[in-house]
Amino acid sequence: MRLTLSTFVALAALPAAGAPLLETPVDCNIGDNCYIQNYVDHNSASGYLDFTCGPLSYDGHKGTDFALPTYAAMEQGVNVLASAAGVVKGTRDGMKDQILTKENAAQIEGRDCGNGVVIDHGQGWETQYCHLKQGSVQVAKGDKVEAGHILGQIGLSGRTQFPHLHISVRQGGRVVDPFFPSQDADRCGEPRDAMWADPLQYEAGGLIRTGFETGIPDYSDVKSGAAGDAEIATDAPALVVFAFGFGSRSDDIVDITITGPTGNVMSQSVTLEKVQAQYFRAVGKRTPAQGWPKGTYTGIVTLSRDGEVLDQSTTSVMVK
């Protein structure tokens, strides 16, 4: 994932004495095979704002969500790491990995975090790690851990709709945004001293994954990772490129171009209409009577905002 519109959070003085320097809590490459979906909500009134005054949050959100692109990536296993040294204060394991629905909401009530770990860093500072994969928790209450210690794996337990790690930072019970640790929770937009040992990039939205299909795929297959073909028959019903993205804003533009052995197959622009945490779009062309010429086809998806490229992804398929 290559972003051309971005904000880097600079490290400077810590927000308070004893505040821990935080390492990245997930063993993946942010912006490549994982991404940050949501930040702490800085609007205590109705509505929500992330620390840049953007919409990458939701009402009352108290942490940072490090997300995986598909359920398949979750099944392969991505480790959750302790962000700083401390003592394990508590754990939970054994909850199912499942998407929150009306049918299972009662099972989750009071256990929104799902499988998780809480670490005490001293002087009132603690971190909480939520939505871990069932059976993956590797620490117990009282264990001493160092930064980078494996706590478990990213999962889908608790109150969640997608596989991710939710990490909360607290000091004396107060929620602290590690990107913007101001004492005033309602402030956003101004530069603030982050708590990360290495600066983390603010992604103002982007493309999670793209791929080829023989028709418009089901959204559930896009999210699970089932959608996306490496090979397509020359007489397949259609040639379609899908784009799965996050953090859309009104009037964002998704440009999709498909080229093949004989040149351009099609180009189409789609204008997004509203703010959405996640979304997908798909465009394509029906197969001609003679079938598609055999060879490699390339899809280029470009996401633009206010006339500037926000993200771009290239995908390919072999037609046989």
CATH number for the domain harbouring residue 276: 2.60.40.2550
- Does residue 177 sit in the same domain as residue 224? no
pLDDT at 205 over 70: yes
Percent share of the chain, pLDDT over 90: 84
pLDDT at 6 over 70: no
Which domain does 214 fall in, by range?
206-319
Average pLDDT on 297-306 reads 98
Residue located via tokens 């040294």: 85
In the chain, the number of structural domains is: 2
pLDDT at 26 over 50: yes
β-strand partners of 238: 286
Mean pLDDT, rounded, of the chain: 92
Residue 269 vs residue 9, higher pLDDT: 269
pLDDT at 305 over 80: yes
| pLDDT level of residue 306 (50, 70, 90 thresholds) | very high
pLDDT at 13 over 50: no
Mean pLDDT is lowest, of 23-37, 92-106, 122-136, 184-198, for 184-198
**Amino acid letter, residue 234:** T
- Does residue 193 sit in the same domain as residue 238? no
| pLDDT level of residue 226 (50, 70, 90 thresholds) | very high
The set of residues, in sequence order, having a beta carbon less than 8 Å from that of 190 and lying 6+ positions away, is none
Give the closest residue to 303 by CA, choosing from 291, 315, 294, 312.
312
Residue 5 vs residue 127, higher pLDDT: 127
- Does residue 215 sit in the same domain as residue 192? no
In the listed set 198, 225, 244, which residue is the last one of a domain according to the structure? 198
- Does residue 136 sit in the same domain as residue 246? no
- Does residue 194 sit in the same domain as residue 216? no
> Which two tokens mark 21?
């320097």
The pLDDT score that the predictor gives to residue 183 is 77
